[in-house]
Amino acid sequence: MEPDPKFRYGFQPRLPIAEVRPGTNFLVSGSSANGAREIALDLVTSESGNVATLLVSADVEGEVLLEYLDDGRRTVDRSMLGAVDCSGVSPGEDNRFTAHDEPISGPGDLTALEIEFSILYEKLVGLDPDEIRIGLISLSPLLAHSPIKEVSRFLHMLTGRIIATGDLGVFVVDSTREDPETVETMSQFCDGHVEVRETRPERVELRVSGLPDQPEDWTPVEYDVALDRWDARSSETD
């Protein structure tokens, strides 16, 4: 069946980001790295039903990332959810939909990551969802373990796939850990760049560049964002 040309990826009404075309890729970064991670989790969920979400978890264990996503603040269908865990922290956790017994050794294993991603993606496609949202949180551990050239090739391949399949891609980079040139390069593989900054405890603002009809100026996110929970977990994986 041909896809509906009018179909758009919408977001939760509380998130000040307008709907986008299928095949759109976002990079999310900013001075609030944890804010970027939380906004990315908002972007990969929706209030509309029959949404499959595939997460690649590099900052924290896959199970923890799924807990953060499904913490009661977002609409999530657990049966349509999967995570590829390449944090290298917790082998064999239950929520991976993988076909293999062994975990990915760590965020530097790009071949294993692609294989696990493809297998999980096909399983989600088999559930016949209306939308597939893909989130990689975050690219920074990948950049710490592989040359920027190979991470670029990997990101280019994923964003290209997302364009081809008409899915939604959300990629986080921790700009507090990376040089501006690295963040800029990663953003050049994506259509839109969402920047996030903290204004006061649990509150952030965002702005979007590269896409039409999105907030270009700093716009407050009018709800509490769980910024602190990442710090303890991230320090464990460092």
Partner 1 sequence: MSEITVLCVARESELGQVSDLLGDQLGVSVLDAVSLDDAEETLSETDIDCLVTEYDLPDGTGIELIRRVRTSAPSTGCILYTDAEPRTIADEADSGLVTEYVDRDGPVAADRLVELVTTTGRLRTQTAYPLPENESERLAVLDALDFDAPSLDRAFNRITELAAHYFDVDRATVNVIDEDTQEVLASHGTDWTSLPREDTICTYSILDDDVTVVPDTSTDPRFEDNDDLDDMDVHFYAGVPLTTSDGLPIGTLCIYDEETRELSDEDRQFLELLADETMHWVSLHSRLDQQRTVGSPTEGS
Residue 159 binding partner 1, by CB under 8 A: yes
What do you get for the CA distance between the two ends of the chain, in Å?
46
The distance of closest approach from Cβ of residue 18 to partner 1 in the complex, given in angstroms and rounded to an integer, is: 21
How much is the CA Rg of the chain, to the nearest whole Å? 16
**Residue 179: exposed, middle, or buried by beta-carbon count in 10 A (0-12, 13-18, 19+)?**
exposed
Q: Which of 2, 4, 94, 102 binds partner 1 (CB under 8 A)?
A: 102
Q: How far is the CB of 136 from partner 1 (least distance, A)?
A: 14
Residues 18-37 that bind partner 1 (CB under 8 A): none
User: According to the binding rule CB under 8 A, does residue 97 interact with partner 1?
Assistant: no
Question: Of 182, 192, 195, 214, which one interacts with partner 1 (CB under 8 A)?
Answer: 182
Task: Kindly determine how many residues on this chain lie close enough to bind partner 1 according to the rule CB under 8 A.
Answer: 42
Look-up of token digits 């069946």:
1
Nearer Cβ to partner 1, position 93 or 150? 150
**Distance separating alpha carbons of residues 195 and 32, to the nearest angstrom:** 9
Q: Residue 108 or residue 135: which is nearer to partner 1 going by CB?
A: 108
Task: Give the interface segment with partner 1, choosing from 5-13, 31-39, 183-191, 193-201 (CB under 8 A).
Answer: 183-191
In the numeric block, which tokens belong to residue 12? 């939760």
CA nearest neighbour of 55 among 88, 29, 21, 80? 80
Question: Is the CB of 188 or the CB of 209 nearer to partner 1?
Answer: 188
* Pair type for strands 81-85 and 203-209: unpaired
